[in-house]
Structure 1
């Protein structure tokens, strides 16, 4: 199946599941690596759509520092995210919290018959997403999309659901727009990459950084848009590319930030809905058919293509990065 077809399948799976809607005080999203960055985006999306308090926590923190995140007088829904369903820290966290009557758990995974799934009360299993690559790409997009659909469904936000239903077609279109990025990914003078995103897009910025590091071992970092001025902007020079996710809430400030980066020699790529007034070195316009929150998955192919194209240009294998395995197991 193509990526848009897999997203359609994901939509059908989530829409067919009946979820427990018992009230909780906190919805806690957790994962490791890519799955944790996915958790950041999903938690911020969930809170915005449902109006319920949601946070993202690395899975290891839940068993290493339980009292820092789990309060005895609160009820929790803990949503664990893992492509494999066998990630050590996820399993350890779920086992550590199992039996607490104030904690309900859900697994979001691409492998439904795994230990993680068996430890949780509820399950979103996207078994059609069977990546051979060590690097998470389709699994990231589909699990994020599933969690957006989940939030829209339990909040009964038909307006959000209608927008989300447009995403598979928009992703198919985005995957065909990668040639524009070659001026960045095939320029050997571009040696440092910085991704900027705020709100739910901060999770995407962190994941974009990880993808590029995994596939190419390139020096790269991520920040919230306006936080970049507070120190990190000092590293910008003519070898620097800054990829900025713009949104309606940030557009008023993004142009000034872009100008500051360009004055220091940086090359700026903007991804989002861009007004005619905004100027950058490369602009990748997203669809205006959906709002900023709902087009998260539409933005994903662009940063994944940056990593993939850079890897090919450098002669790296994007599917088998050095020092990495598909599943991380603690020995």
Structure 2
């Protein structure tokens, strides 16, 4: 590793690094905030969840949309009803395909800034097109457009200010908003006992994964693919985006499920490819995950393979301590940390500024250049 890179890492006081590192604390602080406001949150949410005809839609753009993709299958199972993940970018561009006037709808909006044009427009479209619409807004910015929304059919949860990531890439804002939705919709009391273990696991993996991802970040992989099943499909998508953002598009990234990967996407594998597999704790799902791990090892075509698991018997490269019996939803939080750290180290190795990796300014922390058109 070049001495110059070591010097850069020693001086790395970027918001990106701090916001990745602060996640054990921001997760605990998020749950504490929810407990403090539990009565008013549940007064809004509980009557809605009691309605058998209620449609629940999780929405956001980019990383905020991927929160919904992670949680929708899990919450559908917990609540015993369909929970849909639909990006604001889809709602705004094709509302006729996604909104149903006759279906009472709870739109759960995620927004770090809460001011993205599509986030605001999606709320307005739902109000305009759905006869009986409700909004649960989860945001990190008390000054954002969404945070200022207020009505008897809207409840706004503003997370601790530390979760309002200053860096370009969303890290602690992603995990905090995801925890908030999991807690509010899955039960604040139910999650309360699990948050200490989640936060401890995140702290442990922050320390455990650093040497490995630092080394991997200097190896110059041209391609990286993240694989995950169930809730981890959405997480794999978020991991792929994080690396694409932090490398300023220099690394080709992809994501898929363990079973879906063989159906064409496996062609991404060559000697310049890093493959990362998130292994589920579900007994059936993990068998498929471990099968693709065994196949990739047997093929020996990829440049490197990293396995992330909670089970110490898997011989994983990163083992999540103390969570062998944890729900997959709880593993979302420690599992994303190595991907965040890897993106940071690749960014540094490429000589980029992690807080502002896109020097050309073609992408921005809060999306710009979006025109919202009136829907027919």
Question: Does the TM-score normalized on the shorter chain lie above 0.5?
Answer: yes
Corresponding position: 1:269 with 2:306: yes
Number of aligned positions between the proteins? 324
- For residues 133 and 294 of structure 1, what CA distance do their matches in structure 2 show? 25
> Which residue does 2:80 correspond to in 1?
51
Give the 3-state SS of the residue equivalent to 2:205 in structure 1. helix
Further displaced range: 299-308 or 119-128? 119-128
Question: How big is the shift at 1:264?
Answer: 4.7
> 1:167 aligned to 183, 198, 202, which one?
198
Question: How big is the shift at 1:168?
Answer: 1.9
Question: How big is the shift at 1:272?
Answer: 1.7
Further displaced range: 60-69 or 83-92? 60-69
Gaps of at least 5 residues in structure 2 are 1-17, 372-376
- For residues 164 and 328 of structure 2, what CA distance do their matches in structure 1 show? 29
Give the 3-state SS of the residue equivalent to 1:238 in structure 2. coil
Question: How big is the shift at 1:184?
Answer: 1.8
Q: 1:179 to 1:291 in 2, by over 3 A?
A: same
> Which residue does 2:156 correspond to in 1?
123
> 1:72 aligned to 101, 105, 123, which one?
101
The 8 Å contact of residues 149 and 164 in structure 1, kept in 2 or not, is answered as no
> 1:141 aligned to 175, 194, 214, which one?
175
- For residues 288 and 200 of structure 2, what CA distance do their matches in structure 1 show? 31
- For residues 350 and 93 of structure 2, what CA distance do their matches in structure 1 show? 39
RMSD after superposition: 2.0
- For residues 229 and 291 of structure 1, what CA distance do their matches in structure 2 show? 26
The 8 Å contact of residues 86 and 116 in structure 1, kept in 2 or not, is answered as yes
Q: Flag the structure with higher helix content.
A: 2
Give the 3-state SS of the residue equivalent to 2:229 in structure 1. coil
- For residues 72 and 90 of structure 1, what CA distance do their matches in structure 2 show? 19
- For residues 291 and 31 of structure 1, what CA distance do their matches in structure 2 show? 24
The 8 Å contact of residues 194 and 242 in structure 1, kept in 2 or not, is answered as yes
- For residues 151 and 194 of structure 1, what CA distance do their matches in structure 2 show? 31
> Which residue does 2:30 correspond to in 1?
10
> Which residue does 2:374 correspond to in 1?
none
Further displaced range: 1-10 or 198-207? 1-10
- For residues 205 and 89 of structure 1, what CA distance do their matches in structure 2 show? 23
Counterpart mapping for 1:95-134 below 5 A: 95-98=124-127, 100-119=130-149, 121-128=154-161, 129-134=163-168
- For residues 187 and 254 of structure 1, what CA distance do their matches in structure 2 show? 25
Q: TM-score, normalised by structure 2?
A: 0.81
Further displaced range: 223-232 or 292-301? 292-301
Corresponding position: 1:199 with 2:233: no
Q: 1:259 to 1:167 in 2, by over 3 A?
A: closer
- For residues 115 and 264 of structure 2, what CA distance do their matches in structure 1 show? 39
- For residues 51 and 165 of structure 1, what CA distance do their matches in structure 2 show? 26
- For residues 134 and 275 of structure 1, what CA distance do their matches in structure 2 show? 34
Corresponding position: 1:319 with 2:355: yes
Further displaced range: 5-14 or 220-229? 5-14
The 8 Å contact of residues 95 and 119 in structure 1, kept in 2 or not, is answered as no
Corresponding position: 1:215 with 2:250: no
Give the 3-state SS of the residue equivalent to 1:210 in structure 2. helix
Q: 1:273 to 1:170 in 2, by over 3 A?
A: closer
Q: 1:63 to 1:311 in 2, by over 3 A?
A: closer
Gaps of at least 5 residues in structure 1 are none
Further displaced range: 285-294 or 201-210? 285-294
- For residues 78 and 87 of structure 1, what CA distance do their matches in structure 2 show? 16
> Which residue does 1:224 correspond to in 2?
257
Question: How big is the shift at 1:268?
Answer: 1.4
